[in-house]
Chains A and B, each alone.
Chain A
Amino acid sequence: MSRSCCVIKLLTDLGIRSDFRSFKDRLLAQKIVYVAQTIFNINFGYKFIWHIRGPYSKTLSRDLRASEDRGGCRCQELDYSSVSKLKSMLSELRGLNMDVGLSLEIIASYLMLSRDVFPKPEDPVKELLSRKPYINYENISTALNVFSKYF
Chain B
Amino acid sequence: MVRLRSTSSVGKGVKSIYDEIYGYIPVSELELKVIETPTLQRLRRIKQLALAWYVYPGAVHTRFSHSLGVMHVIGIIASKFIDEGYIKRDDYELLRIAGVLHDIGHTPYSHAIELYMTQAFKVRHEEMATYVIENDPYLNEVFSKYGVNPKEVSSIIRGTHKEPLHNMLLSSDLDADRIDYLLRDSLHTGVAYGMIDIDRILHTLMVDKDGEIAVPAKSVQAIENFYIARMHMYRAVYHHKTIAAFQVMMKTIYEMMLNELREYLEPFTTISNILSTIKKGTFYLWDDNYIAGLMNLTLVKNLGSDDLKDLIRLLFNRVGYKAVYDKIKLSREPLSVRENEEAISLSNLKDLIINGLGYKDFMAIPYVEELNLVDEDLCVKILDNESTTRITEFESSIINSIPRYIAITRLYVHPYILDKVRNMIRK
Contact = CB atoms under 8 A, between A and B. Distances in A.
Interface string B366-409: 00001010011110000000000010000000000000000000
A62 B161 contact: no
A121 B162 contact: yes
Interface in B207-246: 210-212
Contacts of A113: 162
A50 B335 contact: no
A70 B155 contact: no
A151 interface: no
B158 A49 contact: yes
A70 B372 CA distance: 18
Contacts of B313: none
Most chain-A Cβ atoms within 10 A of its Cβ — which of B149, B161, B370? B161
A50 B377 contact: no
A50 B165 CA distance: 9
Contacts of B377: 23, 26-27, 56, 58, 61
Contacts of B122: 45
Nearest to A62: B372
Contacts of B210: 52
A52 B375 contact: no
A116 B160 contact: yes
Contact of B167 (A26, A27, A51): A51
Interface in A13-65: 23, 26-27, 45, 47-52, 56, 58, 61-62, 65
A97 B376 CA distance: 30
Interface string A55-95: 01010011001100110000000000000000000000000
Nearest to A51: B164
B336 interface: yes
Given A51-B378, A52-B212, A65 B164 contact: no
Contacts of A49: 158-160, 167, 171
A61 B167 contact: no
A118 B151 contact: yes
Taking residues whose C-beta sits less than 8 angstroms from the other chain, chain A's interface range is 20 to 34
B9 interface: no
Contact of A56 (B158, B339, B378): B378
Interface string A1-22: 0100100000000000000000
Contacts of B340: 69
A50 B336 contact: no
Contacts of A61: 375-377
A119 B162 contact: yes
B375 A70 contact: no
A129 interface: no
A96 interface: no
Contact of A50 (B160, B212, B338, B376): B160
B90 interface: no
B193 to A, nearest CB: 25
A135 interface: no
A117 interface: yes
A52 B167 CA distance: 10
A23 B376 contact: yes
B159 A69 contact: no
Nearest to A22: B376
Contacts of A119: 149, 152, 155, 162
Interface of A: 2, 5, 23, 26-27, 45, 47-52, 56, 58, 61-62, 65-66, 69-70, 112-113, 116-121, 127, 131
Given A50-B159, A56-B377, 18 more contacts: A23-B390, A48-B160, A49-B159, A51-B167, A51-B378, A52-B164, A52-B211, A58-B377, A61-B376, A65-B333, A65-B334, A66-B336, A69-B336, A112-B160, A117-B161, A118-B152, A118-B155, A120-B162
15 contacts: A2-B338, A48-B159, A49-B160, A50-B167, A51-B164, A62-B370, A70-B336, A70-B339, A113-B162, A117-B161, A117-B162, A119-B149, A119-B152, A121-B162, A131-B211
Q: Which A-B residue pairs are the 10 nearest by beta carbons? A: A49-B159, A66-B334, A118-B155, A66-B336, A52-B164, A52-B211, A65-B334, A69-B336, A117-B162, A50-B160
